[in-house]
Structure 1
């Protein structure tokens, strides 16, 4: 099995240069790692490079929902609703520890986007198209029961509400669990490694890349029969390495979310609601917090350095005041937030909320396959489709017949908990095991949910924790470096734990000791230690400050 240990990075770099892979993937977001997993389970040798960390772009900065595609009904995209609804159920069953069904309230007011009949019909059609199981089908509420469901909803002109199921996820953890599954099936994945130049064979067709290890500036050569560009917001940058970006291109849509403590925003029910400008926004409770978003505006800057602007904050604060008028919060109550981009395929004359989220695949004349667009929910199906399209290439060039796709029923890393129906029982049993090694009940239950079937490996580190750091943080950090390719403290704070967004006080309180432990164990240079310290401080400022 290929290793997911940060301590064996040099071994991974050496492995990447020792053979010609069947497939090379550029990009370690959910699309890229999904392709790597599908390809590895079909019998291909696979390499993947990511210039930042896995899920560092769009895949850690979404609304954190595995959508069934309800919003597409308004655009009459019936096929998308049907496919996304079915894929949502697959994503949930294959990794129930990172995806949770939540009842979503859609209140309707006089003069609003939705009315009683349109909501009823729309949700009924949605249930049918998405194949929603009987226990999760929509139901309707009158005004009184809508307010019982969520007393904070605006009462003026309230007529009632519809309730349906969405699936809340930890987008970054979903991505890393898929990445770990790809590694478990033989793929070689590496982060902080940037594709800088293409290699070409005697026919002028792409045959690999020259890449740079951004942690030590080492150049490496990776050879592959086929290369896929799955770089998300950076697919046009990768295409430009060829020297051409003609034809289809991306347009980026910026989305911002803000986080509040439940003490100031005591939201008890997820709500999908109208805004004054006719858009729809989510307000979602999560582990003692409430987060609200998203904005939707065109963005032209560097997605790696995206800030929350004052206008973004103003928009969300006004949306909250509009739908939850009795929630008396100010900007001072904003605990944290995040900004991300959606990479959309440009459609002339359309605004960011109007552009389709569908995915497209195309190939350059030099053989670079690019996949762009798409939704988190559809990552598995997108990967299956791409590999199906590659089948003739491998058959013609190498006489290799790919085995059928198996990811529809393949549990991702941590997902072997006995199925979604057994998750609660699994968490209860592992919580008891966590308490036995010295964790509190709350800490043990959190880790069991967070890591699923891998949680015992996390528990194994608890009793080794020094007194300078809480045992739960130490255990997560050690597991992250040993089993989840944590190279940078922000990998840990943002994408492996989510604490930068949902428990930022813990980041501030313990960042110095985390930096010290990582420095000692990963043996950073003085320059890297200085850089990583500044990076953590910059992310804290970015999460808490509007520009």
Structure 2
């Protein structure tokens, strides 16, 4: 069995340099993870390198929806709506512990972007294209029914609403669970390792030279095919190859704000048009409401690894809240946290950020390098299938190897071995009851099972073992178990990995992070044997992430 532990990470990289892979993937976001899972389950030998943490870029900074792209009907992207709409149900069925159906309200106001008739027709077409289940098909509500579902919505000019299902997810957790499933089948994943340059054999890419960003050690990884799935860094990776094509990415930035429901008591997820006719979401989640996204061009001279909320971003979203929810008196002081992410879109001249297509494209270079660019979280599995089909075809031609067809359509990701979405609730109920055998409360068991799915048994055992250990306050056995599991089973290297991408708490419970940051870092220091200098470096990094989530920078927004 392959390991996915940060304790063995350095040795793993050395071992990887002794292998020859069928395919090496550059990029450990959802696209790279999906490609690895598709390839390894067909029988390919696979490696993935990620220069940050897994899901460190766009894949932890989305709107956290596996959605079917209703807005793309307005742009007549019918094929994309049909494909990603159908993929929503597959993503949900293969991982119900990280994805859940969410009824979405689409308010219709006089003078707004949507009329009752066009909304009704649009949602009906959407249901048809996306193959929506009967019980999740759209409903049309009158004004009274709309207000009943969300009393905060603007009453003036309200004519009713469309009511349809989207799927809410934890994007980073989805990525991690896909990775763990690929590791289970034998793929090698490693984070904080940067692909610096390509190696060639007769002008064909034969591998990559990499540098471990934690130790500075350099290694060469050999692969028969190399796939560039670097998201916002696709162009940077391609620039290292002699055969870059003429297409380019255009990065756009999206920002979300998190507000406590005591201030913004949102009952219902809403997709609404703003004062300037853009569409944004307001979604309740575990006692918070998060609102976004903005859609502005991102300055390509800035590092896409660290996009930040600006004052203009924050004020725009607050104005949008006041516009659609006039009784809600949120202010800048009520913003508990935020996140900003960049989307790598394929450049289309003359188009506004919200108009650029979200479709993906696969480019094959003269050198044999394969690049995938664009695309949406929802379509990650199908995108991976297309890429690996091409890899398989080329390997058959070049090396006479034959591989199976894609098998991910009905493959549960890690933690989803409970027999499909219809069994998830009963599974969680069962595990909640079992938790008491490990000295935990039913509520603790329920939360862990809902979050970790069928991997929860490992958490139960770790929490039970922690009851015999003297823990740093306020660390409970459950928190201790989460940290140990994250390090040993999810290659968590730094505190920011744990607080942002393994748990999401820096975005959705920043006060919890403030309480637990010191004991978590002390435990990680012991597990990973950091020296004092490393501890202080990681501590400063975490404090900077907390500050960035709360304090906007004063830069103009680029429309």
TM-score (norm 2): 0.96
Q: Deviations over 1:446-488 (max 9, x none)?
A: 2111111111111111133343212222111111111111111
Question: 1:435 Cα deviation (Å)?
Answer: 3.6
Between 525-534 and 22-31, report the one with greater CA deviation: 525-534
Does the residue aligned with 1:196 lie in a helix, a strand or coil?
strand
Question: Which residue of the partner structure matches residue 247 of structure 2?
Answer: 248
Q: For 1:59 and 1:435, locate their aligned partners in 2 and report how far apart those are by CA, in whole Å.
A: 35
Q: CA RMSD in A?
A: 1.1
1:499 aligns with 2:474: no
Question: 1:244 Cα deviation (Å)?
Answer: 6.1
Question: Which residue of the partner structure matches residue 266 of structure 2?
Answer: 267
Q: For 1:525 and 1:27, locate their aligned partners in 2 and report how far apart those are by CA, in whole Å.
A: 29
Does the residue aligned with 1:540 lie in a helix, a strand or coil?
helix
Question: 1:245 Cα deviation (Å)?
Answer: 4.7
Question: 1:57 Cα deviation (Å)?
Answer: 0.2
Question: Which residue of the partner structure matches residue 471 of structure 2?
Answer: 467
Q: For 1:309 and 1:289, locate their aligned partners in 2 and report how far apart those are by CA, in whole Å.
A: 21
Does the residue aligned with 1:127 lie in a helix, a strand or coil?
helix
Question: 1:19 Cα deviation (Å)?
Answer: 1.6
Q: Deviations over 1:487-523 (max 9, x none)?
A: 1111110011010001111111111111111111101
Does the residue aligned with 1:66 lie in a helix, a strand or coil?
coil
Question: 1:140 Cα deviation (Å)?
Answer: 1.0
User: What is the correspondence of 1:322-401 to structure 2 with a 5 Å cutoff?
Assistant: 322-401=323-402
TM-score (norm 1): 0.98
Q: For 2:390 and 2:198, locate their aligned partners in 1 and report how far apart those are by CA, in whole Å.
A: 22
Residues 243 and 537 (structure 1), Cα distance of their counterparts in 2 relative to 1, 3 Å cut: farther
Does the residue aligned with 2:280 lie in a helix, a strand or coil?
strand
Q: Decide whether the 8 Å contact of 2:63 with 2:293 is kept in 1.
A: yes
Q: For 2:50 and 2:337, locate their aligned partners in 1 and report how far apart those are by CA, in whole Å.
A: 26
Q: For 1:531 and 1:244, locate their aligned partners in 2 and report how far apart those are by CA, in whole Å.
A: 39
Question: 1:95 Cα deviation (Å)?
Answer: 0.4
Q: For 1:196 and 1:435, locate their aligned partners in 2 and report how far apart those are by CA, in whole Å.
A: 50
Residues 20 and 516 (structure 1), Cα distance of their counterparts in 2 relative to 1, 3 Å cut: same
Question: 1:243 Cα deviation (Å)?
Answer: 5.2
Between 84-93 and 458-467, report the one with greater CA deviation: 458-467
Q: Decide whether the 8 Å contact of 2:257 with 2:337 is kept in 1.
A: yes
Q: Decide whether the 8 Å contact of 2:242 with 2:367 is kept in 1.
A: no
Between 239-248 and 529-538, report the one with greater CA deviation: 239-248
Aligned pairs, number: 546
Q: Deviations over 1:307-337 (max 9, x none)?
A: 1100000010000000001011111111101
Between 361-370 and 86-95, report the one with greater CA deviation: 361-370
Gaps of 5+ in 2: 554-559
Q: For 1:471 and 1:386, locate their aligned partners in 2 and report how far apart those are by CA, in whole Å.
A: 43
Q: Decide whether the 8 Å contact of 2:244 with 2:365 is kept in 1.
A: no
Q: Deviations over 1:98-150 (max 9, x none)?
A: 00001000010000001111111111111111000101011111100100000
Q: For 1:150 and 1:434, locate their aligned partners in 2 and report how far apart those are by CA, in whole Å.
A: 36
Gaps of 5+ in 1: none
Q: Deviations over 1:150-182 (max 9, x none)?
A: 000000100101100000000000000000111
Question: Which residue of the partner structure matches residue 286 of structure 2?
Answer: 287
